[in-house]
Homo-oligomer: A and B are copies of this chain.
């Protein structure tokens, strides 16, 4: 249970599959600039990405191992991983912040063709635009990556699934202790602080995401930070967390009634459980993301406006498919997703429930401790 990282074979397998897809797409190399993209192929895990001061690059050539082109401050940590070709510069350098070193590396490794850059949904280029234009001006030819990286990352290995499962277990244990930090009269910001501490105690390495809300009929949105307002009797408290263990997220929420709840909240809760169960039953290989959306939307109402009712999950809080009316992504074994139906209880107020599952041959497997029964009452 305490093993961190992956064996080198896991990375070699990812590289081999990427290179096969790159050949089909006619890419001479991939240029990766963001945290999950670089970590996926190198194992480079650090919270230092919180600092925007330095760009980081990983170049994956059409054949051979990846090459790291990184600030010298990262050389020691990268050197403890499997990537052996590590080229560094003393960043930040206001005159040339890695531009020459990256350009030279791309010239060497991708002389024969275009360099693929992840450019589709959920991606961005994590380097200053001015510097990117300098690399382009040096006659490096870029194209999009044809979704190579996103498609690889969408299907998790058993080792990845085990890490997500562990993060889910940790959050489940913290939720089971909610009574220690959430009581009538407690300000929401204190509840948020206390719940993060519980997640850490139960084994989270860090807590990148926590949102929530409270009210008799739910909450106005699901992305707000906490304020000083206290919990009141009859409120439904929702906490939604993305806690990380060894670089992988869980992402699910729980709802708790404080003392008692309005019958409309109880009814909404029951409907949310039905919707989640219906989506889990529908979540079999070959089904599409929009099929899961339909299974839930039919129960929670709202038609096309029901929005996103779940998404992929892994190295990021949200990644990959979206459970919407428009997403036709076909489910495959190994995809890890959230089911996140929401139901309007009054104008502008919602209750949202969320669970995490992995697609298997046959029925999906729950990764979060599956919710059953009545809306839990605490406090």
Contact = CB atoms under 8 A, between A and B. Distances in A.
A209 B308 contact: no
Interface in A103-133: 117, 119-130
Interface string A332-355: 000000000000000010000000
Interface string A200-214: 110111111111000
Contacts of A121: 53, 92, 94, 97, 128
A326 B129 contact: no
Contact of A197 (B90, B201, B222): B201
Nearest to A129: B119
Interface in A122-159: 122-130, 144
A221 interface: yes
In this complex, which of A97, A225, A242 has the most chain B Cβ atoms within 10 angstroms of its Cβ?
A225
A9 interface: no
A127 B124 CA distance: 5
A25 to B, nearest CB: 15
A42 interface: no
Interface residues of A, number: 77
Contacts of A123: 52, 128-129
Contacts of A74: 221, 223
The A interface, classified by DSSP as helix, strand, loop or mixed, is loop
B128 A120 contact: yes
A46 B117 CA distance: 29
B51 A326 contact: no
A197 B76 CA distance: 28
Nearest to A4: B227
Nearest to A74: B223
A334 to B, nearest CB: 20
Contact of A124 (B52, B189, B223): B52
A224 B44 CA distance: 10
B120 A130 contact: yes
B77 A122 contact: no
A73 B345 CA distance: 17
B205 A225 contact: yes
Nearest to A251: B51
A365 to B, nearest CB: 24
B95 A326 contact: yes
Nearest to A305: B90
Contacts of A327: 94
B317 A224 contact: no
Contacts of A223: 46-48, 73-74, 77
Contacts of A130: 119-120, 144
9 contacts: A46-B211, A46-B224, A73-B307, A75-B221, A76-B220, A77-B223, A93-B326, A194-B200, A206-B210
User: Which 7 residue pairs of A and B lie closest in terms of their CB atoms, listed nearest first?
Assistant: A48-B223, A119-B129, A76-B221, A51-B318, A197-B197, A193-B200, A119-B130
